[in-house]
Amino acid sequence: MDERTHGKSHLGEFLATRRARLKPADVGLPDYGDRRRVPGLRREELAQLAGVSVAYYIRLEQGLSLNASPQVLDALATALRLDDAERRHLHTLTGDAARQSRRRLPAERVTAAVRQLVDVFGDSPVVVLGRRSDILTWNRAGHALFAGHLAPDSPDHAATRPNTARLVFLDAHTRDLYVDWPRKARDVVGKLRQAVGEYPNDPQLASLIGELTMGSSRFATLWAEHRVRGWDMAEYRMRHPMVGELDVVQHSLPVPRGQGIRVVVTTAAPDSTAQAALRLLNQTLLPAADRPATAHPAPDDTLARVVPPARS
């Protein structure tokens, strides 16, 4: 599939789905009720709101014009009420995407500088993700928090490298890990949508999307919505089999000149039960001889709330 076909699919479908979610009343237009034949705004209504001709907008939605000016794209984004992540995605899907698709993507690797960065975060759980959300490496705490059921060295080999999207949708352990799994699932799909816009001709990314679409009806439904989620910061409640429930914040840090590689660091509020749970998780990972004396404290109220009682 050539890049124009990619552009026609991604740009056209994104515009059409964003247009369909807006009601005329949302933008101050009259609603003719049952006489409307399409969900959301008509093409001519959106063109009027954005200040472009109907013919030109139709060409954009059909993918026949991929070189819209930044001013036109901003006008469309405003008319469609896109958020910041969606606005950036719209720009990416036009000329920037076509130029990006002609570049040969470098092999993903974890440099010495990235490993040093991971070490800086100490005992905080850290995973390093590639363009397709493959886990390129993790520290001991990151492995234990997110995928302790997988081999610790699995990111080191391309054939066994875990992928966070695949884990969220196809792995029962990861599904149970998030109390609000549907929100996590939406976030994962939104980030993959952003990746497809940035790397439209990545065959491995296309293969991943196909696998998830065939393997998960929920993924297929969310993918069809064309929602975009930026990489930044997200709060989740996790339910870990070793330390129970904990509220955490996942911070996504782009690696300079990393071609889409990100360092994701998980933290918890100071002096919270979640922070105590992360600390306890780290201590249980150490060899017995290396564990600090506080790894086996007298029972107190904090740890009693962190570690759920054994079920009979």
Q: What is the CATH number of the domain that holds 88?
A: 1.10.260.40
- Computed over every residue of the chain, the mean pLDDT equals 79
The predicted-structure confidence for 153-171, as pLDDT tens digits, reads as follows 999 988 889 999 999 999 9
Q: pTM of this prediction? A: 0.72
Please indicate, yes or no, if residue 171 is contained in any of the structural domains.
yes
* Same domain, yes or no: 19 and 120: no
Please indicate, yes or no, if residue 300 is contained in any of the structural domains.
no
Angle (nearest 5°) at CA 293 between 291 and 297: 115
Res 139: pLDDT = 93
Are 141 and 126 in contact by the 8 Å Cβ rule? The answer is yes
Cβ-Cβ contacts under 8 Å for 198 (sequence gap 6 or more)? 92, 97, 100, 131, 260
CA distance 123 to 190: 29
Q: What is the CATH number of the domain that holds 283?
A: 3.30.450.180
Res 172: pLDDT = 93
3-state secondary structure of 246: strand
Least confident of 87-91, 139-143, 170-174, 278-282: 87-91
Res 252: pLDDT = 92
Q: State yes or no: pLDDT of 102 exceeds 80.
A: no
| Percent of all residues in the chain with a pLDDT value above 90, rounded to a whole number | 38
Please indicate, yes or no, if residue 295 is contained in any of the structural domains.
no
HSE on the CB side for 70, CA within 13 Å?
A: 2
Q: State yes or no: pLDDT of 101 exceeds 60.
A: no
User: 251 lies in which domain range?
Assistant: 112-290
User: What are residue 129's DSSP bridge partners?
Assistant: 135, 262
Res 178: pLDDT = 96
Res 237: pLDDT = 96
H or E stretch at 266: strand 262-267
CA distance 213 to 205: 12
Average pLDDT in the 275-298 region?
A: 63
Res 6: pLDDT = 44
Please indicate, yes or no, if residue 55 is contained in any of the structural domains.
yes
Please indicate, yes or no, if residue 309 is contained in any of the structural domains.
no
Number of domains the chain contains: 2
Res 95: pLDDT = 60
* Same domain, yes or no: 158 and 267: yes
Q: What is the dihedral of CA 16, 20, 26, 32, to 10 degrees?
A: 120
Q: State yes or no: pLDDT of 96 exceeds 60.
A: no
Q: State yes or no: pLDDT of 220 exceeds 80.
A: yes
Q: State yes or no: pLDDT of 224 exceeds 70.
A: yes
* Same domain, yes or no: 40 and 154: no
CA distance 109 to 93: 26
* Same domain, yes or no: 57 and 206: no
3-state secondary structure of 79: helix
Average pLDDT in the 82-110 region?
A: 70
Residue with tokens 């092999």: 107
Res 295: pLDDT = 39
Q: State yes or no: pLDDT of 290 exceeds 70.
A: no
